[in-house]
Chain A
Amino acid sequence: MSLVDYNTPLGFTWNGKAYQGFEGDTLASALLRNGIKIVGRSFKYHRPRGIMTAGSEEPNALVTLIGGGSQEPNRRATTIKLFDGLEAKSQNHMGSVNFDLLAVNDLLSPFLAAGFYYKTFMWPRAFWEKLYEPAIRRAAGLGALSATPDPDQYDKGFLHCDVLIIGAGPSGLLTALNAGRAGKSIILADEDFRMGGRLLSEREEINGSNALDWVSSAIAELKTLPNVRLMPRTTIFGVYDHGIYGGLETMTDQIGAKGAKQVLWRIYAKKSVLAAGATERPIAFANNDRPGIMLASAVRSYANRFGIEMPNSALLTNHDDALGTPVDHVIDIRKGEHIVDTQGRGGIKQVTLNTGRKLSVQHLAVSGGWNPNVHLTCHKRGRPKWDETLACFVPDAQNLPAEMHVIGAANGSFSTHGAFIDANTVSELLGVKSGALPAAEDAPVNITPFWYVKGNKRGWVDFQNDVTTKDITLAHQEGFSSVEHVKRYTTLGMATDQGKTSNVIGLAVLADATGQTIPETGTTIFRPPYTPVPIGAFAGAHRGQHFKPTRLTPSHDFAAEQGATFVETGYWKRAQWLARTGEQGWRDSVDREVLMTRNSVGICDVSTLGKIDIQGRDAGAFLNKVYVNSFKLLKVGKCRYGLMLREDGIAMDDGTTARLSETHFIMTTTTAKAGPVFRHLEFCRQLLFPDMDVHLISTTDQWAQYSVAGPNARKLLQKIVDPEFDISNEAFPYMACGQMTVCGGTRARLFRLSFSGELAYEISVPARYGDALIREMIAQGKEFDAIMYGTEALGVMRIEKGHAAGNELNGTTTATNLGLGGFVSQKKDCIGKVLSGREGLTGEDQLNLVGFVPDKKGETLTNGAHFINQGDDSTPENDQGYMSSVAWSPMLETYIGLGFLTNGKKRMGETLVAKDFVRNNHVEVKVVSPHFFDPDGERLRV
């Protein structure tokens, strides 16, 4: 009786040929069912390899799944649940899997020993890139990627529970029953698609009946408990801080299927119970890697769970547990017999014993004992301890992750009875009452450690990486005696199986070589993940349009309708320019936008500027602390430009702040610094000035804000602002602000500010009205030829005015550098003031922000260029500063630039060379005032 549903056949293809399996099969069992012995080629020697295990520890049966126009390499056939239409192929061969041309490597094995790549291919040197590396790359690497985008979807999620139980074998199921019945919130996760653990593969009795009946009954009861979540096909792959576990749930193996293929769960567990069982280990003897040689537990799994018999078989073992394997011959090491060699290229045909006896077999079951799955117990730097009686590493209770308990075979309790006792014991520790102890087998462990057979031929330790006993011995001979060094020199325990079947044997071989015991030799460090996790699962849904959030302004759709080209500014998308029919390139659009704004009126969406609502009795005093200039005495109804320093005296951000009432200010920040400035202010409020009555809240998203600039700005706004509000120059002068209504009663704020140097205002309305307001302003502005302009035109106009922006507030400049030294109030203290006066930031020869024009009109300036005195060599010692911003000025019809020049204020009229080695553009420039356009500010005060 097996657990396969023979009434549900499933068709699949293997290397292009059609086969049939059944519901309940894995791909591995389906291949075996169809008599396929060779499923792949080994990594280095390209030896034929067959299925060795029935679980996630499989080192040999790595296959490529095909589907959805793509393929997924290096999947373990033992963990793939068969589905109708599955397509798979073998990998790592040239030619067919049965006749691999690269099998010639096996003949060259004396030259391909451990670390061969460190010793060979040294000469001739020129051959490395042209011959050796391409040849090695061609031969190595197991499966191949499809080189097409991954068609699958992945997702992430978050789960919370009182107890996470890892493994649904007998101990895990009983613990879940105990804790579930007591009302604990439980997650029971198992990497297999069917729960039951080893009970699925053995013929055991529990309470006098078939153990599978107990499993079915336990699962059925657990399903009725609302506080229990059963998660088959979920591998707990990592243990992290604060009780967080990583889990990978596989929803389907089908490539390109609808919905998430895998879900990466972050599981928050108050306690965890590791009931992950144990992994059987092989024994290394000559030619122990032939197809048909399997772990004894796998032979029992395929026989009992999948109904696949292995005729003409033998068993090699050193302990009692494996004796239940259905075989024709038993070779019990404890009776003095062991295997010294095997024969059969395409599959085992014969074994030779140390006694000289030869046995003709088609299958060989091997068991060298069991290794508890201690991996997860070590993710927080714990180390397992050696148990001499059990001949294996077991978890060390002294250094387990916090709140983790280990039970069952994972804890070295190998009998089912022992597993149940562990489950009931841990249940008490979890504070729940344990149920009746089910009656089950309680065979003692009777093992004689036996790791490998010495000899001249190769005996495989790590099947996946083609590491043999000889490789480990050789590594030791060459001076690698630390287990960590041996691992890296030989590649023992790497790749998809992470040494699940090989590590302990490797340690035993190394221990023999060094003359130490196995515990003295120690283990390598176990790190997450326990089994492979696709990169796609880590990325989850964060790909393509979901890679990062996008922030849109309230009038984004309107800008798009106007043909805007958008630029990413942080997460924001801002209109960069808005092209009109007939314009040949972005410069045409930008020049037009500048000219139309300066000649009439333009509207720019400045909703992205950070807006921070600051309220409190001490709000003014607070602003005095964070700005270099004074705000405490700012009159209600007025705005003021402010510069903010970091603690180290470097300029942090600038902007304007408006006072709406005695206790109410509105601060604007640059788009890029909105978040950092808010964080800084909160830091100041909460930690530096906790006694101040001041509160902050971001209103960036609350208000849609538009800059309306140009000689006709007021005329346009007078059609928008409700008539009861006077915004004439006299009533609402430069730097005024106020709350009013627009368009028949819509609440609004108006600030008379200018970044462009024109008569300008910034008007804001609640974001729900943003789209309607811009449409209304454009409509009302028709008589003035009002346009919407983008950030590029905004940038041109601010450079024409000599205003610093992000290029200048670049994290290296001071108020003095920016020409704002005079802003720093001498009457008060502020953050950054002390350190802005430190050596190196003061005195002569500081960088000053100045303007530049090409000496020969028409020449192009580029930002990033460094200034060198004429005649000097272009060396760092001769560096005089750098160009930070450049633009073509349609008003001045020349390139203009802003930049930082040593002692620049005193060098007006000087000619330098702006050298840009990146673009190979070297231009003679003249130092001028940074205020290129309307230097006296006459336009903005009219």
Chain B
Amino acid sequence: MSKLATKSPLGGFSRDWKSVSLTELSDYELVSIAVAQGKDSDFEKRFKSVLKVNPPKPNQYVEVENGFVIWTGQNQYMLMMDNIDEKADLKMSERFGESAYCVLQSDGWACLQVDGPKIMDVLERFIPLDLRNAPNDFAARTVAHHIAVIVIKSPDGGWRLLTPRSSARSFLDALTHTTDSVIS
């Protein structure tokens, strides 16, 4: 048992406005999965075998047991698991064998859950994508306030915003500033 305490990128941030709430999520793991050159069919078989679904298409995610997988680039995916398992990358690596390369990315990102009836009024001032017309399985990479972000339409109706850990406080500052501005 490690004697080191963990610290989330945003210190467990949570704030409620009248019609929008922002909450940092930290109980998750992220694993990047890249398909090995020439191993596409093996990868697809293993993906289906391991995760019970087909890989997502561009700007899409697919739900898997206890999480979902996002398409992040050509032959690249990100598995987001809603539980803590610091060896998730090693386990995935084992399951995918030589068909894919897995890298732990959980600590590289901060994750904000955005909810509330006025959520779109806030996000349209922040995210350059057409989120109002986004399908239910929408996930895409973009930038907000010059900071990278992965936007995920949560199955529960809210949105998840993944942003690099090191600039996460700036991202949060900008998002709360925008929310203040909209909900003023």
User: Interface on A for B, CB 8 Å cutoff?
Assistant: 153, 155-160, 185, 258-260, 263, 266, 268, 541-542, 545-546, 548-554, 571-572, 613, 615-618, 663-664, 691-695, 697-704, 741-747, 765-773, 776
Contacts and interface: CB of A to CB of B under 8 A. Distances in A.
Given A259-B180, A259-B184, 10 more contacts: A155-B182, A260-B184, A541-B178, A542-B146, A697-B32, A700-B108, A741-B2, A742-B4, A744-B2, A768-B7
3 closest cross-chain pairs (CB), A and B: A259-B184, A693-B37, A160-B130
Interface in B1-34: 1-9, 32, 34
Given A153-B181, A259-B184, A552-B169, A616 B103 contact: no
Interface residues of B, number: 52
Contacts of B174: 541, 546
Contact of A615 (B4, B101, B166): B101
Contact of B166 (A263, A548, A701, A771): A701
Contacts of A702: 103-108, 165
Contact of A158 (B124, B133, B165): B124
A616 to B, nearest CB: 7
Contacts of A550: 167, 169-170
Given A549-B145, A613-B103, A776 B34 contact: no
Given A260-B181, A701-B164, A702-B105, A542 B8 contact: no
Given A160-B132, A693-B36, A772 B4 contact: yes
B129 interface: yes
A691 B177 contact: no
Nearest to B8: A768
B68 interface: no
A643 B109 CA distance: 29
B127 interface: yes
B125 A615 contact: no
Nearest to B32: A697
Nearest to A611: B108
B162 to A, nearest CB: 11
Contacts, number: 155
Nearest to B100: A695
B130 A157 contact: no
Contact of A701 (B87, B107, B124): B107
A618 B101 CA distance: 13
Contact of A766 (B32, B107, B128, B177): B107
Contacts of A541: 145, 174, 177-178, 181
A767 B107 contact: yes
A463 B73 CA distance: 57
Contacts of A615: 34, 101, 103
A517 to B, nearest CB: 46
A546 B145 contact: yes
Contacts of A776: 3-4
Contacts of A617: 36-37
A663 B97 CA distance: 12
B94 interface: no
Contacts of B177: 541, 546
Contact of B107 (A664, A693, A768, A772): A768
A549 to B, nearest CB: 4
B38 interface: yes
A71 B67 CA distance: 53
A747 B4 contact: no
A699 B105 contact: yes
A772 B107 CA distance: 14
A527 B125 CA distance: 26
Nearest to B9: A767
Interface string B124-154: 1111111011000000000001110000000
A772 B9 CA distance: 13
Given A695-B34, A747-B86, A185 B133 contact: yes
A616 B34 CA distance: 10
B130 A571 contact: no
B65 interface: no
A741 B90 CA distance: 14
B173 interface: yes
Contacts of A156: 125
Contacts of B43: none
A758 B81 CA distance: 42
A742 B145 CA distance: 37
Contacts of A663: 101
B2 A572 contact: no
Contacts of A771: 7
A766 B105 contact: no
Contact of B125 (A155, A185, A613): A155
A722 to B, nearest CB: 10
Interface in B67-100: 76, 86-87
Nearest to B125: A157
A176 B11 CA distance: 47
16 contacts: A541-B177, A542-B146, A546-B145, A549-B146, A616-B36, A664-B101, A692-B37, A695-B36, A699-B103, A699-B105, A699-B108, A701-B107, A701-B166, A702-B103, A743-B2, A766-B86
Given A155-B125, A259-B181, A703 B146 contact: no
A672 B104 CA distance: 24
Nearest to B170: A549
Contacts of B165: 554, 701-702, 767
A697 B89 CA distance: 14
A766 B145 contact: no
A389 B51 CA distance: 71
B159 interface: no
A477 B129 CA distance: 55
A776 B7 CA distance: 14
A697 B76 CA distance: 10
Contacts of B76: 695
A86 B133 CA distance: 40
B61 interface: no
A552 B171 CA distance: 12
A699 B165 CA distance: 11
Given A693-B37, A743-B2, A773-B4, A766 B170 contact: no
A765 B4 contact: yes
Contact of A572 (B1, B34, B145, B166): B166
B178 to A, nearest CB: 7
Contacts of A551: 164, 166-167, 170
B173 A545 contact: yes
A159 B131 CA distance: 9
Contacts of A767: 9, 107-108, 165
A774 to B, nearest CB: 10
Q: Which of B166, B171, B173 has the most CB of A within 10 A?
A: B166
Contacts of B5: 769, 772
B36 A268 contact: no
B178 A155 contact: yes
Q: Which of B147, B167, B173 has the most CB of A within 10 A?
A: B167
Nearest to A692: B37
A37 to B, nearest CB: 38
A155 B5 CA distance: 39
Nearest to A263: B125
Contacts of B3: 743-744, 776
A616 B7 CA distance: 32
Nearest to A571: B167
A155 B127 contact: no
Contacts of A691: 37
A687 to B, nearest CB: 13
A703 B107 contact: yes
B129 A158 contact: yes
Contacts of A553: 166
Contacts of B104: 702, 766
A700 to B, nearest CB: 7
A162 to B, nearest CB: 10
